[in-house]
Amino acid sequence: MSGRYQPADAFRSPRFSGIRTFMRLPYVTDMTDVDFAVVGLPFDTATSFRTGARFGPEAIRAASALLRPYNPEQDVDIFAHLSGVDAGDLQLAPGDTEGTYALAEEGLGTLIDAGVFPVVLGGDHAITLAELRAHSARHGPLALVHLDAHGDTWHEYFGQRFYHGTTFRRAVEEGVIDPAASVQAGMRGSLYSPSDIGDARDMGFTVLSTLELLDLGPAAYGDLVRERVGDRPAYLTFDVDFCDPAYTPGTGTPEVGGPTSAQAQAFVRALTGLNLVGCDVVEVSPSYDSPGQPTALLAANIAWEIISLHALARARGAGS
């Protein structure tokens, strides 16, 4: 039986029409009968180079109009298993990272408490700490599954402890993730020193550079993650700078030498069998995107792949 909330029918209203919601889902804020909710968190105060990720949710929603409900690679029809909505944007306080954290934790908590799987569209990577806090407050320490060109485990930035480059160091310090159950993959590019990655390993993370990840391949990567994560509650965070700037030029700190969009899809598709409790796709900065908006399109597709993982999990579970 299909879910209550589904995308608008593209053969009744064309995909370029209507208020822009993610995947043309109904804009609904009452979480009754909702399995997953897409929400934006347009916060970008905490970026270190190019900014503008506050317009990320708008751009991802616009590009997501191209998404259809059936995922052929995973052989899953999302809305046969799930009811999904776009719940708009979480409240935030621009210019105030910790104020935004408080608002986002509260907003997200409401969704989680309603049993909804939240799919968050960033915003810069600082926002993930708020999400990790909200989820771990309910599930305990999380296993982090992290795809990104940067480990984001720096110490601080101009006296600020919270910005998009310190998120996962803070998350370990706060105990909201368990590094021993966590895998960071995709790291590449110039570093300040070897400790940029060494520190993460010392904290207990499994860290794979882009080259190591590509050598491993999607299937082995999936196995490695499942081995590390086990049945812990897991959180998947995808920074679009994981891909090469040829694929995702519209982001704040691009690093050349990255994976393709097809590789990004394959690594995400490999993450079946986890107990995902939440996820985000972050760092889309539309004013740096190319005219065809490929970065936003990639981000929309990655969110859709994660929703497909959730649908698969539901399909393989006790029914729905």
In the region spanning residues 168 to 197, those forming contacts with its own copies, defined by CB under 8 A, are: 188-194, 196-197
> Closer to its own copies at the Cβ: 165 or 179?
165
State the Cα–Cα distance between residues 113 and 67, nearest whole angstrom.
Answer: 28
96 binds its own copies (CB under 8 A): yes
> Closer to its own copies at the Cβ: 137 or 256?
256
Site size toward its own copies, by CB under 8 A: 96
Contacts with its own copies in 235-294 (CB under 8 A)? 244-247, 249-251, 253-258, 260-262, 265, 287-292, 294
> Closer to its own copies at the Cβ: 137 or 287?
287
Q: Using CB under 8 A, which of the segments 84-92, 106-114, 178-186, 273-281 binds its own copies?
A: 84-92
- Edge to edge, what strands does the sheet with 36-41 contain? 84-89, 36-41, 117-122, 275-282, 233-239, 143-147, 183-187, 206-209
Contacts with its own copies in 215-244 (CB under 8 A)? 244
Site string for its own copies, 36-75 (x = CB under 8 A): ----x-x-xxx-xxxxx-xx-xx--xx--xxxxxxxxx-x
> Closer to its own copies at the Cβ: 23 or 177?
23
State the Cα–Cα distance between residues 36 and 63, nearest whole angstrom.
Answer: 19
Q: Do the Cβ atoms of 52 and 288 come closer than 8 Å?
A: yes
Q: Using alpha carbons, list the distances in angstroms from residue 316 to 65, 72, 75, 232, 313.
A: 28, 17, 12, 18, 5
The H-assigned helical ranges of 34-166 are 56-63, 78-81, 97-113, 127-139
> Least separation, in Å, of the C-beta of 172 and its own copies?
20
State the Cα–Cα distance between residues 219 and 301, nearest whole angstrom.
Answer: 20
106 binds its own copies (CB under 8 A): no
